[in-house]
Amino acid sequence: MLNSLGENSLFKCHAFIVFIALSFLQGTTHARSDSSNSLSSDQRKAIESVIKDYLLKNPIIIRQAIKKLKEEEEASEKARVSIALKTYKKELIGDKTSPVGGNPKGDITVVEFFDYNCGYCKRAANTLKALIKSDPNIRVVYKEFAILGQKSITAAKAALAAHQQGKYVKFHEGLMSGRIDLDSIASLANSLGIDYSRLRKDMASSMIQNTLQKNYKLANALAISGTPVFVIGERIIPGAVNEETLKQVVMDERARRK
- The least confident of 51-55, 137-141, 170-174, 249-253 is 51-55
Express each pLDDT in 99-158 by its tens digit: 999 999 999 999 999 999 999 999 999 999 999 999 999 999 999 999 999 999 999 999
Q: Where in the chain is the domain with CATH 3.40.30.10?
A: 91-257
The pTM assigned to this predicted structure is: 0.75
Is pLDDT above 80 for 23?
no
pLDDT of residue 19: 54
Tell me which of 3.40.30.10, 3.40.50.2300, 2.40.37.10, 1.25.40.10 is the CATH number of domain 91-257: 3.40.30.10
pLDDT of residue 73: 86
For residues 150-167, average pLDDT: 98
pLDDT of residue 21: 53
Apex 154 CA angle, 151 and 156, nearest 5: 110
Express each pLDDT in 56-110 by its tens digit: 888 888 888 889 988 888 888 888 888 989 999 999 999 999 999 999 999 999 9
pLDDT of residue 25: 47
Express each pLDDT in 212-256 by its tens digit: 999 999 999 999 999 999 999 989 999 999 999 999 999 999 999
Give me the DSSP letters along 42-99: HHHHHHHHHHHHHHHH-THHHHHHHHHHHHHHHHHHHHHHHHHHHHTHHHHH--TTS-
Identify which has the larger pLDDT, 159 or 79.
Answer: 159
Is pLDDT above 70 for 28?
no
Identify which has the larger pLDDT, 19 or 31.
Answer: 19
pLDDT of residue 1: 41
Spell out the residues 6+ positions from residue 102 whose beta carbon is closer than 8 angstroms to its own.
Answer: 110, 132, 138, 139, 140
